[in-house]
Amino acid sequence: MRRFLTLVLATPLLLWLLAAPAAAQIAPPAGTVARIQGNALAVRNAVPRVLAVGEPIQIGDVLSTGADSRLEVKMIDDATFTLGAETAFVVVDYTFGQASNSGTLRVIKGAFAVTSGKIAQLADNSMKVQTDVATIGIRGTTVWGGPIDGVFGVVLLDGRAVSVENAAGRVDLTTVGAGTGLGPTGAPTAPNAWAAEKLNRARESVAFR
């Protein structure tokens, strides 16, 4: 565990933490840890804490997993986020049942899956996942994202639609099993059906054992 803490704090997570807003100090709960396999941490205000089932997750938390680890979080609107091994994920904003209903999360590295909840049912663009190469708009779906075959891939696993957009272009995935890929620059590739073997690799990267 000590080695895991050292590795986490030596990654780009530390840079993100140093730039995090002070408002994170009084962030309200955004969700709860539902399942853990292996090691998982939350870091807020540069202070790490080891996660356990039932632990509250707050706005401003940076979640990270160790090697061969998984983390599943149930959010306040019943959305579910699952992180694969060596993944880092930031809860940037998450409010529900208030004047503003929105969810914004950021993936720093690794693979994840999201099953949307009530926020995504309210309006388009109310829930999104930011990455270094694109913003993923989630609308009543289960979506996977992460590194695969040398690019950052996004695929619709269930539901009706997901958008993938950056400054160079946008694609909408509206068929289950359709995915796109992104390199460091350029627009998302045109949607195409992922082969069963590729879909299985994506699912396996976030599956609990």
67 is a domain residue: yes
- For 84-109, the pLDDT digits (tens) are 999 999 999 988 877 677 788 999 99
**Cα 15 from Cα 200, distance rounded (Å):** 33
105 is a domain residue: yes
- Res 112: pLDDT: 98
Mean pLDDT of 22-48: 83
* Strand ranges (E), the chain: 29-37, 40-44, 47-50, 56-58, 62-65, 70-75, 80-83, 88-95, 102-109, 112-115, 127-130, 135-148, 151-166, 169-173, 178-182, 192-193
Task: Indicate the pTM of the whole model.
Answer: 0.85
36 is a domain residue: yes
Number of separate domains in the chain: 1
Provide the pLDDT confidence category of residue 1 given band limits of 50, 70 and 90: low
Q: What does DSSP say about strands 70-75 and 192-193: parallel, antiparallel, or unpaired?
A: unpaired
182 is a domain residue: yes
187 is a domain residue: yes
Question: Could you list the residue range(s) of the whole structural domain that residue 9 is in?
Answer: 2-204
Could you tell me which residue, 9 or 48, shows the higher pLDDT?
48
Q: What is the CATH number of the domain that holds 65?
A: 2.60.120.1440
209 is a domain residue: no
- Res 119: pLDDT: 78
Structure tokens at 117: 């909840």
